[in-house]
């Protein structure tokens, strides 16, 4: 914290004109060290996920998802064409069953 924010303590007026501090400053070096360690671990994990100068896990996962979406769309088009061909063949067989001699 900077010197100005550490020196500034807000006070409020209560009953009888007594002033009570709104902010109580507690210096706990163990807590600060623990928070900084956790922040460092979080930063390391974020770099691993997102990637700094090389692709991270998220970039690799996004690339795989895009590839799967492309193959899924392509497969969907092929399946629709095959289904349309089967439907036309069955409809034709039903329409011409007497002429083709199918009972």
Per-run averaged pLDDT (10 residues), the chain, 103 residues: 44 56 72 89 82 71 88 87 95 84 69
One domain, residues 99 and 73:
yes
One domain, residues 70 and 89:
yes
For 48, half-sphere exposure in the C-beta direction (CA atoms, 13 angstrom radius) is 6
Q: Residue 99's pLDDT is what? A: 79
For residue 99, the enclosing domain spans: 65-103
Q: Residue 4's pLDDT is what? A: 44
Count the domains in the chain: 2
In angstroms, the CA 32 to CA 38 distance is 10
Q: What are phi and psi of 19, to 5 degrees?
A: -110, 135
In a domain, 7, yes or no: no
CA distances from residue 96 to 21, 39, 86, 87, 103 in whole angstroms, order as listed: 95, 75, 15, 14, 10
One domain, residues 75 and 44:
no
What's this model's pTM, rounded to 2 decimal places?
A: 0.36
Q: Residue 89's pLDDT is what? A: 93
């Amino acid at each position: 914290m900077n010197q100005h924010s550490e020196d500034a303590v807000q006070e409020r007026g209560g009953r009888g004109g007594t002033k009570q501090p709104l902010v109580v400053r507690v210096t706990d070096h163990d807590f600060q060290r623990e928070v900084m360690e956790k922040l460092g671990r979080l930063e390391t994990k974020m770099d691993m996920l997102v990637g700094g100068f090389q692709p991270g896990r998220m970039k690799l996962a996004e690339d795989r998802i895009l590839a799967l979406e492309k193959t899924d769309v392509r497969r969907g088009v092929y399946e629709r064409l095959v289904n349309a061909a089967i439907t036309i063949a069955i409809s034709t067989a039903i329409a011409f069953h007497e002429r083709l001699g199918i009972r």
